[in-house]
């Protein structure tokens, strides 16, 4: 069943760039300028999961960490189940 909302809110900050860096103590980070930094050791589903997580932070800064985790886990599972993968297979 499809639910319709009156009007979707626009994303507060679009994703500017996705950077893969070797981070020592965390898996990812969302920067206020719209950049998402992901730990370069992440591959496959875990990379998608953390990408969705940081994108959720960018979309809604006011969400709690728990809310972001809940939303991003659901989105990552749906995308992964539907076959979304990086082109290079990593
Ligand atoms: Zn977070």
- Per the CB < 8 A criterion, the answer to whether 54 and 28 are in contact is yes
Residue 77 belongs to some domain of the structure: yes
Cα-to-centroid distance, 23 and ligand 1 (Å): 15
How many folded domains does the chain comprise? 1
- Per the CB < 8 A criterion, the answer to whether 5 and 25 are in contact is no
Cα-to-centroid distance, 13 and ligand 1 (Å): 16
Residue 88 belongs to some domain of the structure: no
Cα-to-centroid distance, 75 and ligand 1 (Å): 15
Cα-to-centroid distance, 87 and ligand 1 (Å): 25
- CA 44 vs. chain centroid, Å, equals 13
Residue 7 belongs to some domain of the structure: no
- What tens-digit pLDDT sequence spans the chain (90 residues)? 666 666 666 656 778 999 999 999 999 999 999 999 999 999 999 999 999 999 999 999 999 999 999 999 999 999 999 999 998 766
Residue 47 belongs to some domain of the structure: yes
pLDDT of residue 10: 61
Domain with 65, as residue range(s), is 17-81
Cα-to-centroid distance, 58 and ligand 1 (Å): 10
Q: Is the pTM of this model over 0.85?
A: no
Residue 10 belongs to some domain of the structure: no
Structure tokens at 57: 């932070």
pLDDT of residue 55: 95
Strand arrangement, sheet containing 17-21: 17-21, 35-39, 28-30
Beta strands in the chain (DSSP E): 17-21, 28-30, 35-39
């Amino acid at each position: 069943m499809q639910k319709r909302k009156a009007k979707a809110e626009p994303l507060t900050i679009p994703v500017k760039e996705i950077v893969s860096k070797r981070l020592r103590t965390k898996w990812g980070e969302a920067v206020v300028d719209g950049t998402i930094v992901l730990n370069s050791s992440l591959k496959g589903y875990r990379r998608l999961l953390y990408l969705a997580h940081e994108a959720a932070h960018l979309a809604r800064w006011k969400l709690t960490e728990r809310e972001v985790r809940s939303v991003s886990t659901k989105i990552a599972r749906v995308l992964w189940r539907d076959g979304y993968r990086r082109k290079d297979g990593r």
